[in-house]
Amino acid sequence: MESSINAMKKINETRDSFRPCGKIAAALFFVLLDLYKINPMYQFSLAWYREIFTGSIKDAKQNAQNQEKIQTIIKCHIINVYRYTCRSLFERHKLLLAF
């Protein structure tokens, strides 16, 4: 019983430490969803976005130490979202996405 309580505490602490990643990832996803207001052609799926996020986590694992892992995931994810989204944007809208 005591070991399961300790395990739950550790799980909760780990989950809470990754909350900043989730907030930024959610904000970026909703930015991408709003791009259809600029041009109806810009529509992105959640499955596509999840692949980018999974790739960002894998990239961050290769580049980070434990203490800076969360910041590395955030940086990798922002770069990956920009890079993959720019592939499908018109040139005149890339600056808007960067902003």
Q: Please list the alpha-helical segments (H only) found in 1-99.
A: 2-17, 19-33, 46-63, 69-86, 91-98
The yes-or-no verdict on residue 32 having pLDDT over 90 is yes
Q: How confident is the model at residue 69 (pLDDT cuts 50, 70, 90)?
A: confident
Give the domain ranges of the chain. 20-98
1.10.3470, 1.10.150, 2.30.30, 1.10.8: which CATH number matches 20-98? 1.10.8
Distance CA 73, CA 29 (A): 15
* Predicted local confidence at residue 65, as pLDDT: 64
96, pLDDT greater than 70: yes
Output the pLDDT for position 67: 61
State what percent of residues in the chain have pLDDT above 90.
56
Question: Residue 64: pLDDT band by 50, 70, 90 thresholds?
Answer: low
